[in-house]
Structure 1
Amino acid sequence: MRGSIIVSAVLLGLSYAKPTLNRRYVVKESHPVPTEFSRVGEAPGHHLMRLQIAVKQGQFEVLEKHLWEISDPDHARYGKHLSLAEVNDLVKPTDESTDMVREWLHEHVSPEHIEASPAGDFLSFTLPIAKIEQMLQTNYSIYQHEDGSKLVRTHEWSLPLHLHEHVSAVQPTTAFIRTVPQAKTYVSVPGAAEVPTVQTYGGKPTVEKVCDTAGVTPLCLRTLYGTVDYKPKAAGRNQIGLTNYLGELNNRSDAAIYLKNYRPEAISGAQTFKQISVANGSLQQTPETPAQLKAGTGVEGALDVQTILGVSWPTPLLAWSTGGDPPPFTPDADDPTVDNEPYLTWVNYVLRQPFVPQVISNSYEDNEQTVPLSYARVVCSQFAQLSARGVSVLFGSGDGGVGGVQPGGSCKSNVDGSTRFIPLFPSSCPYVTSIGATVGFNPEVAAYDPRNKFSTGGGFSNYFPQPAWQAKAVKSYLHTLGDEFEGLYNTSGRAYPDLSVYGVNYTIIWNGTLRRVDGTSAATPTAAGIFALLNDALIAHGKPTLGFLNPWLYKKGKAAFVDVTSGSAPGCNTTGFPATIGWDPVTGFGTPRFDKLLKAVGL
């Protein structure tokens, strides 16, 4: 055993542990170490890790069937979202699975230190790495990314053979996930003033008069997408949410400066939006430290909260901050906890809540191949539970075109090292809605910024098959594309994005000063704000909220979008997928118009 175990036996329940029964351990999962990571040493055995065991869900296929029916606008059950209790009843593991997994766990950790999810499909606890290595018959190592950040992970782990069919995933193990915010391509404004110039306009705004590609504001976005005259009527019953990970911040004072200048009637929102810390996530409101400023901490958070309040106010906003600091692992004797799986931690927390905002904006992505299939499936199934409860879960489609999570990706397959287009997760999950980005007002084109090589992302999953609701649209696009890029992507995978919104040169306030930001991180909160207002209209008319958008979007909602037919998603030393007439894996169905959205939902 490496290292000395310095945590008390009482805390960890080691005094309870029985002699390990004679189990036949067999490798449960292996996952290639991503090419951008290299092993730099052994993981310290005394460091603590919070492990999450996903127990096989009992009736997920039935839940999925319910989801398709309640999301199909032509089905009799459309809009009849499931309750928390109904969802939990469907995903609850069988008694056999629960008993067998717990019997094994009790050999290693005391029962009172195991926390179960309400449905019992997740069991969580904290142990030293050395103890976990015994449990999983594995060895953890420290891996360093090309950018210097580090993770503690293993490339392979085992379970007793009789548990293989009962355990869906164990993490953190093989997931080299980094949860990259899609607004790291921000651009400073040379010579920017301490505060922006107040945007005022008398008379009826038009795109020509209030929109400027050099600096996009809420008035421009509201005018472009047609929400500027809409007056919310159901703010008390309708909410919108956003996520923060890895120390990202939503600064209220920056939001107040922004709203004072760009949407003064909404300035109270800077102080009234609700913040919740998940797993010790930061709610910091003090000025950023020099290290945070150097890292750009708070840029993503500023973009998300300011955009949502600027577009959807007075719809109440809830911001979650999920724990974990970048880099995810820094050896420190005073803080020996090294677990970091923010997607799973966040979604499992939210699934416990009796009420969840009806639209949630997520501006984070990872290269799909950095995530083992088991982890992707488990997290995606949790998103399906949210969708079944009537929540629209939105993710940005990435900033690196077809090349991955950010510009300049390696485009190297983990499997064989060959050149491949790199799909992103969670956008590749079939139970979420993926948002691409555009630039320009007349015409609108697929977003690309030569200053920082930002290019709206799009592609095809290597993990998840193509859902039936998008098969017709994708088939039409592939017929048009022909054999171009043959062998570089999976033609039968879940394709994304589903739609797009403007995503270049957003005006934000960060650290009290004006900045310009690019990214699908800009497009996603804008899209969330638009759909939150559409939900407001539905609630005001006594109708159910939209919930999972995609089946409605691909069947009927697409009529409410302006088709974007120019531009592409460059990456991997190619021009990338081109935008075309109809759906494409660059801009989806294009950009929304609120009056047409109202018509598409029958209002």
Structure 2
Amino acid sequence: MRSSVLLSVIFVGFGAATPLQQSRRYVVKETHRVPWDFVRQGDAPGDHRIRLQVGLKQDRFDELERHLYETSDPDDVRYGQHLTASEVNELVKPSDKSLRLVREWLYEHVDPEDITYSPASDFLSITLPISKVERLLETKYSVYRHTDGSTIVRTPEWKLPLHLHDHITAVQPTTSFIRTVPQSSMFLGSAGKKVQAKAHRRAGNGTVSKVCDADNVTPLCLRTLYETVNYVPQVPGENQIGLANYLGETNNRSDARIFLQNYRPEATAGADAYSIVSIANGTLQQTPNGPGEYFGMEGSLDVQTLLGISWPTPILSYSTGGEPPEIPDVDHPIVDNEPYLTWVNYVLEQDFVPQVISNSYEDNEQTVPLSYARVVCSQFAALSARGVSIIFGSGDGGVSGVQPGGSCLSNVNNQTQFIPLFPSSCPYITSVGGTFGFGPEVVAYHPENKYSSGGGFSNYFPRPKYQDAAVSGYLETIGDEFKGLYNCSGRAYPDIAAHSINYTIIWNGTMILGHGTSAATPTISAIISLLNDALIADGRAPLGFLNPWLYKRGKKAFVDVTSGSAIGCNTTGFPAVKGWDAVSGFGTPRFSKLLKAVGLSEDVSRPHVQQ
């Protein structure tokens, strides 16, 4: 009897941990392999400060997604009934239980007053030194050097108490080895009298063959090619267009003024009229570049293209900070190169958001942790649900990634693979490929810098239903040619395309030529914005999330591109074919057909001729 009692005591004293103890045990939440082009340099300084963003599970995201698709489907009775900011916040806020548990955990490590909350409380932000973050997440940060010489502070793995795994969706910056790249390349040039003369011709009086020069593409050429040349915006102000800048890029007013004076004189005032907002210490610099400085090329291409096509529609430009390396201090903690989450969370906090937002940046999807990609994509869904068309370029490296000459090596198994891009792989945005030429347009390829319009299939996000018919038909057409090199069941991109080679722009007071889907993106954004203007003037809602409408009806307003391919990875890459394809989508727009596709008369654009 005594022995059994003693054994019972021993069992109680040394048995398994209690459920509470088990739930608070730290367990790995996420592991992400360090990309091949990063090399560990050593431990991160303990006093290096980062702004940590903690994403909580959005309690009713499935319902938000349902609302998004219903209000974006032209055959649904709710089409165009976009949600308000408060309605979106109600759907994405975490459960009371999730918020309580996460707060309890954070309060053990940080002062409650140091925590900031998003309007829906689905993201909590705190600024801490690395030493405290390492204890918070039971991890070890290191300094990694990229092949281009820049450095970044990250960790390949982090942990959470087990009871929080179902309540926290992401914590960043941790595993995100993001290399956000503007999808453009530039060549210095000289304007030339021929181009200047074409630029000053009156709008509406020329044909494409007369106003377009393949070596120097101007706003008049693009407006003529895509049939917006005679349309004058009717509700500027009520209708606006947004522009996202990252990586120290900015939009220079002086260069924009010179550009407009030469290529759209009646819009010159627009150079001083657009607004610029700084997010997370994003640059607002307007001074010229010094010797050896080359920032602002992408920003010039974007804003000048938008102004050249959509003026006088107001532009709201966002300049989002975060570009390693930076020198941190107490007053200016490191934000790091994580622009998308920082940007979209800021925009979601605003009462008013432009109806179209142009983004000319991409990352190789495999450098973006799955958790990060999911939370950013879900935030794009929330923004789209508010009636915003979010536009991204499809990349400049064909099937090899963000730029020509990518490694084509999978970050999972180190095997050759086509490299999809993010955010183009997100199903809640519209991706834009690039074309070249005027009769007919073909898939863009530039022999000097090997720029090739990007296209592909996501490894992270499954194919959305709105794509099923179009993509299934394409896969049947191409057969097994690239079998094993891509995920045929993933979200496919691009959705549409536009001209993307030899855009004439002004940078640092000099004419240069820009190429890439960075050029196609603001072009498409400007055209969709003009279409929204016509809709709003007719008393209707803006298009909002484009894709369900595009794949069902809008595709009829695009001219099919059937020649060329997404060259990369020592292959021809995905070919352009009749119908939708994974390099030019449905093709390039025609404004008269777009008006018809939304139920407006083609004559809407004809009475408003600028003389």
CA distance in 1, matches of 2:193, 2:486: 46
- Structure 1 residues 332, 544: closer, same or farther in 2, change over 3 A? closer
The residue number in structure 2 matching 1:201 is: 201
Partner SS for 1:539: helix
Matched residue, 2:389: 392
Give the counterpart letter for 2:144 in structure 1: Y
Q: CA deviation at 1:37?
A: 1.0
The equivalent position to 1:551 in structure 2, one of 532, 548, 553, is 548
Structure 2: distance between partners of 1:337 and 1:73: 44
What TM-score do the two structures reach when normalised by structure 1?
0.94
How big is the alpha-carbon RMSD for the aligned residues of Structure 1 and Structure 2?
A: 1.6
Checking the alignment, whether the CA contact within 8 Å between 1:193 and 1:513 is kept in structure 2 is no
1:500-511 pair list within 5 angstroms: 500-511=497-508
Query: For 1:354-396, what per-residue CA distance to the aligned partner results, in whole angstroms no more than 9, with x for missing partners?
Result: 1100000000000000001000000000000111000000000
The answer as to 2:371 corresponding to 1:370 is no
Instruction: Give matches, 1:101-250, under 5 Å.
Output: 101-183=102-184, 185-189=185-189, 197=196, 199-202=199-202, 204-250=205-251
Residues 1:449 and 2:418 aligned together: no
Q: Describe the SS at the equivalent of 2:399.
A: helix
Q: In structure 1, what is the equivalent of residue 606 of structure 2?
A: none
Q: Is the 8 A contact 2:322 2:334 kept in 1?
A: no
* 1:425 matches 2:426: no
TM normalised by structure 2 equals: 0.93
Which residue of structure 2 aligns with residue 4 of structure 1? none
Gaps of 5+ in 1: 1-19
1:277 aligns to what? 278
Match in the other structure for 1:258: 259
Question: 2:6 aligns to what?
Answer: none
2:314 counterpart residue number:
316
User: Does the 8 A contact of 2:55 with 2:171 survive in 1?
Assistant: yes
Determine the C-alpha separation between the residues in 1 that align with 2:359 and 2:61.
24
Counterpart of 2:310 in structure 1: which amino acid? S
Asked whether 1:573 is paired with 2:570, we answer yes
Distance 1:377 1:572, change over 3 A: same
Letter in 2 for 1:515: I
Q: Does 1:491 align with 2:485?
A: no
Amino acid at match of 2:262: N
Per-residue CA distance 1:381-412 (angstroms, 9 max, x = gap): 00001110000000000000000000000000
The answer as to whether partners of 1:47 and 1:338 remain within 8 angstroms in 2 is no
Mapped contact 1:152–1:338 kept (Cα < 8 A):
no
Matched residue, 1:80? 81
How far is 1:197 from its partner?
2.9
| Mapped contact 2:402–2:421 kept (Cα < 8 A) | yes
Q: CA deviation at 1:42?
A: 1.2
State, as a whole percentage, how many aligned pairs show the same letter.
Answer: 68
Secondary structure of 2:377's aligned partner: helix
2:340 aligns to what? 343
CA separation of 1:111 and 1:420: change in aligned 2, threshold 3 A: same
In structure 1, the residue corresponding to 2:132 is in which secondary structure? helix
Alignment correspondent of 2:8: none
Are residue 299 (structure 1) and residue 297 (structure 2) matched? yes
Counterpart Cα distance in 1 of 2:581 and 2:451: 19
Q: The residue matched to 2:91 in structure 1 has which SS? A: helix
Counterpart contact for 1:150–1:330, Cα < 8 Å? no
1:360 aligned counterpart, secondary structure: strand
534-543 or 139-148, which moves further after superposition?
Answer: 139-148
Q: Matched residues in 2 for 1:521 and 1:333: separation?
A: 34
Q: Secondary structure at the residue paired with 1:401? A: coil
Structure number with greater Rg is 2
**d(CA) in 1 for partners of 2:533 and 2:238?**
8
Q: Label 1:195 to 1:164 Cα distance change in 2 as closer, same or farther (>3 A).
A: farther
Residues 458-473 of structure 1: matches in 2 within 5 Å? 458-473=455-470
**What is the distance in 2 between the residues matched to 1:557 and 1:339?**
39
Q: Quote the residue 2:557 is aligned against.
A: 560
Query: What CA distance in whole angstroms lies between the structure 2 residues aligned with 1:62 and 1:573?
Result: 43
Kept after mapping to 2: 8 A contact 1:195/1:512: no
Distance apart, 1:236 and its partner CA: 2.2
Matched, 1:39 2:40: yes
Deviation at 1:283, TM superposition (A): 0.6
Question: Given the superposition, is the C-alpha separation of residues 229 and 408 from structure 1 closer, same or farther in structure 2, using an over 3 Å criterion?
Answer: same
> Which residue number in structure 1 is paired with residue 5 of structure 2?
none
Moved more, 333-342 or 461-470: 333-342
Corresponding residue pairs, total: 577
| Alpha-carbon distance in structure 2 between the residues aligned to 1:282 and 1:333 | 18
Partners of 1:303 and 1:359 in 2: CA distance: 17
Instruction: Output the CA distance in 2 between the equivalents of 1:49 and 1:582.
Output: 47
Residue in 2 that maps onto 1:9: none
Tell me how far 1:193 sits from its aligned partner: 6.9
What is the CA-CA distance between 1:36 and the residue it aligns to? 1.2
Shift of 1:84: 0.3
Residue 434 of structure 2 aligns to a residue in which SS? strand
Contact 2:425 2:461 in 1 (8 A): yes
SS in 2 for 1:571: coil
Q: Is the 8 A contact 2:127 2:333 kept in 1?
A: no
1:318 to partner: Cα distance: 0.4
Secondary structure of the corresponding residue to residue 365 of structure 1: strand
Q: Gapped runs of 5+ residues in structure 2?
A: 1-20, 601-611
